[in-house]
Amino acid sequence: MKDKVLTFLQQEIDKHVTPGAVIRIKHKGKVILEEAIGSNSLEDDRVTMTNRHVFDMASITKVMVTLPVMLQLLESGDIHLNDKVTKFLPGFAKNGKESITLRQLLTHSSGLIAHRPYFERKLTTPEVLADILQEQLSYVTDTQVVYSDLGYILLMEVIEKVTGQPLEEFSKQHLFHPLAMMNTGYVPKYKRTQFAPTEFLEHLKGHKYGIVHDDNTEFMGGISGHAGLFSTMEDVSNFTDMLENYGVYEGKQILHPEWLRKSRDNFTPFSDESRGLGWQLKGHGISPAGDLLSPTTYGHTGYTGTSFYIDPRRELTVTLLTNRVYFGRHDPIIRLRPRLHNIIVTNLTN
């Protein structure tokens, strides 16, 4: 398997899909492959990619920060899934949004539009939130899945209202430190060569090193519930190991197993896109997880080229970190991910 997987990734690197990648495959409780390939960039100061390079996790922020914090608040009884958003954000009660629940935000079925380019107006976090409060619904709640960053921006505000702490601080205290994820967080400060840089921007006269790729999050100070997290393969591995182990990491219960199980239920049977609480589920439709992983598979992707998928039935976890937006916003990673997962499953040995 190792040769086939690394050969495939090298071919993608040669095609300038990404300058480098880090991959980890765990099967039946054993890491069967963990390798870094390529380099962090193509610039003169490039270095060989390693499993300690810091990646912009992009939308994986939704399931590595916002979702687990919400699950902790559900466990503690501070919230429940059918709480209305207006209980925490009364200003949301307008334009048909009065009955939207936390569950609907988590499952991308709230009726909110997918995206607004707040960065074009240079809106700060309070201004973005105020704008979302004025939104009208773009479809009838619980009839579609429309992947929405706006919902997770709202969830960050709900978390901060409930906990009385900034999301960055709460997640560090209750997630990352207990998980020994010491190189994970928002607005990171490392040496240039420690980053897997993202897109080239004219105003920077270079690529983004340690500056969040998501335009809205950049103007929100680098911190949001939908994007902004940076991490390494070492740290992401601690997180996925915890998920595999029913919420336990090195004897510490980080997430309750009942809430983890609940989060993997399909809450969107009305849509071809199966969604759990935060999770993208494999289901029976088209998926970045490919054609062969079981319908129990769950995970998430990040626009920058990151992903992880866990298949409980096969006892298989595949984590892939790339910085594919180094070459721009064309999206060949859409084809890379399913083909990679197919190769892995095809070459698994018991």
| Least confident window among 76-90, 219-233, 277-291, 314-328 | 277-291
171 part of a folded domain: yes
pLDDT on residue 339:
97
pLDDT above 70 covers a percentage of the chain that reads: 100
Q: How many CB atoms lie within 10 A of CB 79?
A: 18
pLDDT on residue 79:
98
305 part of a folded domain: yes
pLDDT on residue 123:
96
Q: How many CB atoms lie within 10 A of CB 47?
A: 14
For the chain, the domain total comes to: 1
Per-residue pLDDT band at 136 (split at 50, 70, 90)? very high
pLDDT on residue 137:
97
33 part of a folded domain: yes
What integer best gives the mean pLDDT of the chain?
Answer: 97
CATH number at residue 321: 3.40.710.10
| pLDDT value at 187 more than 80 | yes
pLDDT on residue 342:
97
CA angle in degrees (0–180, nearest 5) for 138-307-257: 85
130 part of a folded domain: no
| pLDDT value at 350 more than 70 | no
What's the pLDDT tens digit per position in 217-276?
999 999 999 999 999 999 999 999 999 999 999 999 999 999 999 999 999 999 999 999
222 part of a folded domain: yes
49 part of a folded domain: yes
pLDDT on residue 197:
98
Measured CA distances, 8 to 141, 160, 311, 324 (Å): 42, 43, 21, 15
**What would the two tokens of residue 76 be?**
């503690």
Tokens 């300058």 appear where? 19
Give every CB contact of residue 330 below 8 A, 6+ residues apart in sequence: none
Segments forming the whole domain that contains residue 216: 2-61+167-346
pLDDT on residue 25:
98
Give every CB contact of residue 159 below 8 A, 6+ residues apart in sequence: 66, 69, 70, 73, 167, 170, 225
- Distance in angstroms (rounded) separating the CA atoms of residues 150 and 156: 10
Q: How far is CA 331 from the centre of its chain?
A: 17
| pLDDT value at 286 more than 90 | no
150 part of a folded domain: no
| pLDDT value at 283 more than 80 | no
What's the pLDDT tens digit per position in 30-52?
999 999 999 999 999 999 999 99
40 part of a folded domain: yes
